[in-house]
């Protein structure tokens, strides 16, 4: 799994742990606010709406600043992970694609972090068009923008399928330290990864549909996924189940913050969760 520990890369581990902790906080906030809304007869909340509600809560601005710092750390982690190949994806075609995907993921989370920070210093707009819909409108205004947006939707669907495959095969186990905590929570971790896969895949479908209909307002993020689910039979129940799944993904991120293994920077003798299950 590793070519050996490189002590010069030890500094990457606290950056990684801070990043995953920030990511866990984001999903805890968004899924927690959405679940509370559903239990009170409302709808699930997108990231922007959840952050806006958090802004007026006690210590809300402090949490928003912590989210920004966590997203900044996660973006830095994804960048250095891609450059130094800390998780040993390799330099073949598949490895290069995976490492480019890390950079894209880092940029997305950095934008999310700056969105949280912006709410600390400015008044909330109280909702409106989602950030993804706005970005879709900008892309569609470019030469060939409709095709670029459609390609982005297909790639996002692929990312969602990757998460689903990761959950089905429990591939995340090879990146986690094997101990009683990770072993006992494995079922919840798997549910979290699967839920994230569903959300990412559905966001890809919405983006692709926006390109197909030439209507950027059809694109959407988590709020768009919740909106689509609300129109389905037993929609509120489905939204409630999905929010519970996203809380499991928050747990998954928190577990990664504590127990994730970085092959090129961690002790090579650490037993992985995959090895623990196979033993």
142-196 pLDDT, tens digit each: 899 899 999 988 988 888 898 899 999 999 999 999 999 999 999 999 999 999 9
Mean pLDDT for 241-249 is 96
Tokens of 116: 């949280």
Mean pLDDT for 225-246 is 92
Give how far Cα 36 sits from Cα of 74, 105, 187, 242, Å. 27, 28, 24, 13
Whether the CA torsion 169, 171, 172, 177 is positive or negative: it is positive
Name the DSSP class of 221. S
131/45 Cα distance (integer angstroms) = 14
> Based on C-alpha coordinates, what's the Rg of the chain?
19
Of 166-175, 184-193, 222-231, 265-274, the poorest mean pLDDT is in 265-274
Tokens 């409106």 correspond to what residue? Answer: 128
Q: Is the pLDDT of residue 41 over 70?
A: yes
Q: Is the pLDDT of residue 5 over 60?
A: no
pLDDT over 90 percentage in the chain = 44
Please enumerate in sequence order all residues whose Cβ is within 8 A of that of 2, keeping only pairs 6 or more positions apart, or say none: 88, 263, 264, 266, 268
Tokens of 50: 């959840």
Task: Output 103-106 pairs: Cβ under 8 A, ≥24 positions apart.
Answer: 103/78, 103/79, 105/78, 106/74, 106/75, 106/76, 106/77, 106/78, 106/79, 106/82
CB 197 within 8 A of CB 160: yes
Mean pLDDT for 107-119 is 85
Q: What is the pTM of this model?
A: 0.88
CB 251 within 8 A of CB 21: no
SS3 124: coil
């Amino acid at each position: 799994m590793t070519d050996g520990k490189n002590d010069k890369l030890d500094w990457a581990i606290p950056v990684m742990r801070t990043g995953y902790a920030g990511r866990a906080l984001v999903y805890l906030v968004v899924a927690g606010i959405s679940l509370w809304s559903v239990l009170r007869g409302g709808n699930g909340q997108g990231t922007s709406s959840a952050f806006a509600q958090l802004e007026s809560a006690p210590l809300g601005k402090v949490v928003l600043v912590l989210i920004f710092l966590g997203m900044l750390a996660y973006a830095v982690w994804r960048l250095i992970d891609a450059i130094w190949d800390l998780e040993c994806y390799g330099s073949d075609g598949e490895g290069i694609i995976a490492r480019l995907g890390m950079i894209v993921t880092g940029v997305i989370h950095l934008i999310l972090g700056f969105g949280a920070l912006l709410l600390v210093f400015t008044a909330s707009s109280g909702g409106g068009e989602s950030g993804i819909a706005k970005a879709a409108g900008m892309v569609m205004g470019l030469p060939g923008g409709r095709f670029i947006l459609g390609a982005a939707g297909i790639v996002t669907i692929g990312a969602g399928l990757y998460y689903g495959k990761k959950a089905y095969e429990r591939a995340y186990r090879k990146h986690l330290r094997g101990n009683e905590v990770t072993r006992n929570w494995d079922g919840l971790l798997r549910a979290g990864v699967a839920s994230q896969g569903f959300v990412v895949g559905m966001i890809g479908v919405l983006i692709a549909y926006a390109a197909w209909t030439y209507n950027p307002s059809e694109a959407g993020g988590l709020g768009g996924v919740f909106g689509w689910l609300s129109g389905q039979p037993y929609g509120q129940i489905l939204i409630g189940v999905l929010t519970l799944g996203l809380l499991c993904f928050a747990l998954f991120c928190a577990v990664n913050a504590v127990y994730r293994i970085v092959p090129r920077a961690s002790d090579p003798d650490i037993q992985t969760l995959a090895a623990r299950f196979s033993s």
